[in-house]
A and B are shown apart, each in its own frame.
Chain A
Amino acid sequence: MNKIVIENLTLQYSDGTESLHDISLDIVANATTVLFGPAGGGKSSLLRCLNRLNDLADVESVSGRIILDGENILDPNIDVIALRRKVGMVFARPVVLPFSIRGNLTYGLELAGEKRKSRHDEAIERSLKLAALWDEVHDRLDEPAIALSGGQQQRLCLARSLAQEPEVILLDEPTSGLDPISTAKVENALEELKKLYTVILVPHSVQQAARTSDFAAFFLQGKLIEYAPGTEIFTNPQNQRTEDYVTGRFG
């Protein structure tokens, strides 16, 4: 079942850098879709369209449609705040907010007007367990979040978006700054997450793309070159450029 349908998405930044050309892509629910390719290919731009985080960037023009559950999210009249609660995001560098661990997790709920402490506690435990962080921090939730290690911070950021019970999770190179053990923990968490959510991941390496993907889309200079199930694209790519990239001939 398709969770998100992207139709003819074209995006141009005002300074002429990285942009997207006529992207059409169907993203399947309860699976991990990987967007990969060399830097500057438009992967992050596409990700940032999916929760409208591009709104404040210097975007010159956007055209096309992004249909999420039958609704065009590029429509200027939609409720962007509600969209961002439904579509969570984790960034390349873990950005913990200057609060306690608990404060980081409940901030989104507070913003949404949820004040009941029982709901907060429930969301904290559920999201930390999903992000595989519960065992490490459950007895020190009131310590400042900045005191956690890099890997823990990144999983806290993941838990922070999960606390809002999103339906789609966007991850922009979430493990680029992490050691292999932390990376494995994040990847394992993603494996569990896709049972509940739709996961869209920009991996930080081709190897990670191959490890985690159910579906994979190869981006090169703002164009979608090839889109196929992960098992096919990494073993038997149809496009020459995909093959060259996957086999390490460039990139």
Chain B
Amino acid sequence: MEKDLNWREYIITRLIKFSGYSAVIFVSLIFFFLLKEGLPTLAEVPLGDLFDLRWYPIESYYGILPLITGSLLVTIGAGLIAVPFGIGTAIYLAEIAPRWVRNLLKPLVELLGGLPSVVLGFLGILILSPTLRVTLNLPTGLTALSGSLLLGGIAIPTVVSIAEDALDAVPKSYRDAALAIGATRWQTIWRVTLPAARSGVLTAVMLGVGRSIGETMTVMMVTGNAPVLATGLADLFSPVRTMTATIAAEMGEVANASTHYHVLFFIGMVLFLISMTVNVAASAVVFRQKKRAERVLS
């Protein structure tokens, strides 16, 4: 009996250990594969050409700058939409809405987060783009703006869900204390509750941004896919092409191990680098705050 129990303990421990290690192993395998397929680019295409303004792979123009700016533009646009709306919704749900409204709305918002992006893209093509074209009098409705609007919509549930959790975790006593010294409800939210939940809210923003920069299907469907260098927010009204859409659209037609193939993986590396930077920056901020709090509390 005793021995039997020991065996079970042993197997379960090993299984859990294996699952833990396998996550690390899979990530490093993906990373090495990405490097293996992407790095040859540096030998095949001169660095100057890589950061050229022209993406036209059939004639060996591999300038990825337009794709990077396209991704950034769409992501920034999405952030401008998702962050204020997302945090605003989170504040409403956590601080203002009555309990039953919150219990109804929060699952709904989270359900929105599970909407397949291809469905949103479809709605974008059928409804959003034509509307934008007519109301803004543009030559085409397939623009960075359409992509930003839809990506903002995709990122909002992520931002809302995580920011609301963070706000909800702020002890009620903080709010009582602020109210008791004569703060209004809004002053309490703005000066006490929100700062206290700062790290969680920041995580929410970063994950929302990460979600938009990695999104592929929607942007491929609605941004028009023209690899033109974006230079400012004014380019929101013209078509762009993102890094993700380029990889998705061209990977199927490229000859294995050709230069084009390697460049696509190189784009993947750049994308990986960008989202990693965002994540590291976010966790660095959160970590720094946590450490300060721990040091102070000990």
Chain A residues engaging chain B, CB cutoff 8 angstroms: 51, 53, 56, 58, 81-82, 84-85, 88-89, 91, 93, 95, 97-98, 107-108, 111-112, 144, 146-147, 157, 160-161, 164
Decide yes or no whether B104 CB sits under 8 A from chain A: no
Contact of A81 among B171, B176, B182, B297 (CB under 8 A): B182
With a cutoff of 8 Å between Cβ atoms, the chain B residues found around residue A157 in the complex are 177
Decide yes or no whether B132 CB sits under 8 A from chain A: no
With a cutoff of 8 Å between Cβ atoms, the chain A residues found around residue B173 in the complex are 91, 93, 95
Q: How far is the CB of B97 from chain A (nearest CB, A)?
A: 12
Which of A51, A111, A144 has the largest number of chain B CB atoms within 10 A? Answer: A111
- Check if B177 sits within 8 Å of A88, measured CB to CB: no
Residues 253-298 of B at the A interface (beta carbon under 8 Å): 293, 296-297
Contact of A88 among B99, B181, B191, B293 (CB under 8 A): B181
With a cutoff of 8 Å between Cβ atoms, the chain A residues found around residue B175 in the complex are 56
0/1 per residue, B157-185, Cβ < 8 Å to A? Answer: 00000000000000101111111111111
Contact of B182 among A84, A91, A93 (CB under 8 A): A84
Q: How far is the CB of B93 from chain A (nearest CB, A)?
A: 15
Q: Once bound together, how far apart are the Cα atoms of A53 and B177, in whole Å?
A: 10
Q: Once bound together, how far apart are the Cα atoms of A108 and B196, in whole Å?
A: 18
With a cutoff of 8 Å between Cβ atoms, the chain B residues found around residue A107 in the complex are 178, 181, 183, 191
Contact of A84 among B99, B174, B180, B196 (CB under 8 A): B180
Contact of A91 among B177, B184, B185 (CB under 8 A): B177
- Check if B297 sits within 8 Å of A160, measured CB to CB: no
Q: How far is the CB of B113 from chain A (nearest CB, A)?
A: 29
- Check if B196 sits within 8 Å of A111, measured CB to CB: no
List of 8 A-B pairs having minimum Cβ-Cβ separation, nearest first: A108-B181, A95-B177, A89-B180, A85-B182, A84-B182, A95-B173, A146-B296, A147-B296
Closest to B191 in A: A107
Contact of B181 among A56, A93, A147, A164 (CB under 8 A): A164
Q: How far is the CB of B194 from chain A (nearest CB, A)?
A: 10
Q: How far is the CB of A78 from chain B (nearest CB, A)?
A: 13
Decide yes or no whether B139 CB sits under 8 A from chain A: no
Q: Once bound together, how far apart are the Cα atoms of A97 and B177, in whole Å?
A: 8
Q: How far is the CB of A233 from chain B (nearest CB, A)?
A: 28
Can you list 11 A-B contacts (CB < 8 A)? A91-B180, A95-B176, A95-B177, A97-B177, A97-B178, A107-B183, A111-B182, A112-B182, A147-B296, A160-B181, A161-B181
Q: Once bound together, how far apart are the Cα atoms of A91 and B177, in whole Å?
A: 8
With a cutoff of 8 Å between Cβ atoms, the chain B residues found around residue A51 in the complex are 180
Decide yes or no whether B28 CB sits under 8 A from chain A: no
0/1 per residue, B217-241, Cβ < 8 Å to A? Answer: 0000000000000000000000000
Closest to A84 in B: B182
Q: How far is the CB of A88 from chain B (nearest CB, A)?
A: 7
With a cutoff of 8 Å between Cβ atoms, the chain B residues found around residue A58 in the complex are 99
Contact of B192 among A89, A97, A160 (CB under 8 A): A97
- Check if B179 sits within 8 Å of A84, measured CB to CB: yes
8 other A-B residue contacts (CB within 8 Å) besides A85-B182, A95-B177, A112-B182:
A56-B175, A58-B99, A91-B176, A95-B176, A98-B195, A111-B182, A164-B181, A164-B182
Q: Once bound together, how far apart are the Cα atoms of A156 and B212, in whole Å?
A: 45
Decide yes or no whether B187 CB sits under 8 A from chain A: yes
Q: Once bound together, how far apart are the Cα atoms of A89 and B99, in whole Å?
A: 26
With a cutoff of 8 Å between Cβ atoms, the chain A residues found around residue B293 in the complex are 146
Q: How far is the CB of A123 from chain B (nearest CB, A)?
A: 12
Which of A56, A93, A157, A160 has the largest number of chain B CB atoms within 10 A? Answer: A56
With a cutoff of 8 Å between Cβ atoms, the chain B residues found around residue A98 in the complex are 192, 195-196
With a cutoff of 8 Å between Cβ atoms, the chain B residues found around residue A53 in the complex are 176, 179-180
Closest to A58 in B: B99
Contact of A95 among B99, B174, B182, B184 (CB under 8 A): B174
Q: Once bound together, how far apart are the Cα atoms of A56 and B195, in whole Å?
A: 21
With a cutoff of 8 Å between Cβ atoms, the chain A residues found around residue B178 in the complex are 97, 107
Q: Once bound together, how far apart are the Cα atoms of A164 and B183, in whole Å?
A: 12
Q: Once bound together, how far apart are the Cα atoms of A86 and B81, in whole Å?
A: 42
Q: How far is the CB of B290 from chain A (nearest CB, A)?
A: 13
With a cutoff of 8 Å between Cβ atoms, the chain A residues found around residue B183 in the complex are 81, 107-108, 111
Q: Once bound together, how far apart are the Cα atoms of A30 and B219, in whole Å?
A: 70
With a cutoff of 8 Å between Cβ atoms, the chain B residues found around residue A56 in the complex are 175, 179, 185
With a cutoff of 8 Å between Cβ atoms, the chain A residues found around residue B99 in the complex are 58
- Check if B296 sits within 8 Å of A161, measured CB to CB: no
Q: Once bound together, how far apart are the Cα atoms of A147 and B99, in whole Å?
A: 35
Closest to B173 in A: A95
Q: How far is the CB of A79 from chain B (nearest CB, A)?
A: 10
With a cutoff of 8 Å between Cβ atoms, the chain B residues found around residue A84 in the complex are 179-182
Closest to B195 in A: A98
Q: How far is the CB of B171 from chain A (nearest CB, A)?
A: 8
